[in-house]
């Protein structure tokens, strides 16, 4: 579920996988895996949260993901 929020947020910001990955300091292929459900490390989650303007904890807590969806829906 959280990976759908990440994907929707990226699209709402009109950013490509490449742009998010570059701004986060990770490879595009790694970012694509994250959007497909791979949980990132805490460091990467925090970096992605800055780029996507979301709470980094959504990657680790389903309740946070539900709350984030309400905010960004």
pLDDT on residue 17 = 97
pLDDT band at residue 4 using 50, 70 and 90 as cut-offs: very high
**Residue appearing with tokens 């949260």:** 49
Q: In whole angstroms, what is the distance from residue 66 CA to residue 20 CA?
A: 22
Q: Which two tokens stand for residue 65?
A: 């993901």
Instruction: State pTM to two decimals.
Output: 0.80
Domains assigned to the chain: 2-72 (1.10.260.40)
Q: In whole angstroms, what is the distance from residue 68 CA to residue 26 CA?
A: 23
How large is the average pLDDT for residues 13-23? Answer: 98
pLDDT band at residue 73 using 50, 70 and 90 as cut-offs: very low
Regarding predicted confidence, which is higher, 23 or 64? 23
Q: First vs last Cα of the chain: how many Å apart?
A: 13
Percent of the chain with pLDDT over 90: 78
């Amino acid at each position: 579920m959280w990976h759908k929020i990440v994907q929707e947020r990226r699209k709402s910001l009109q950013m490509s996988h490449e742009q998010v990955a570059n701004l986060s300091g990770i490879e595009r292929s790694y970012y694509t895996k994250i959007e497909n459900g791979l949980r990132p490390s805490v460091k990467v989650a925090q970096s992605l949260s800055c780029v996507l303007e979301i709470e980094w904890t959504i990657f680790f807590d389903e309740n946070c993901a539900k709350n984030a969806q309400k905010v960004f829906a």
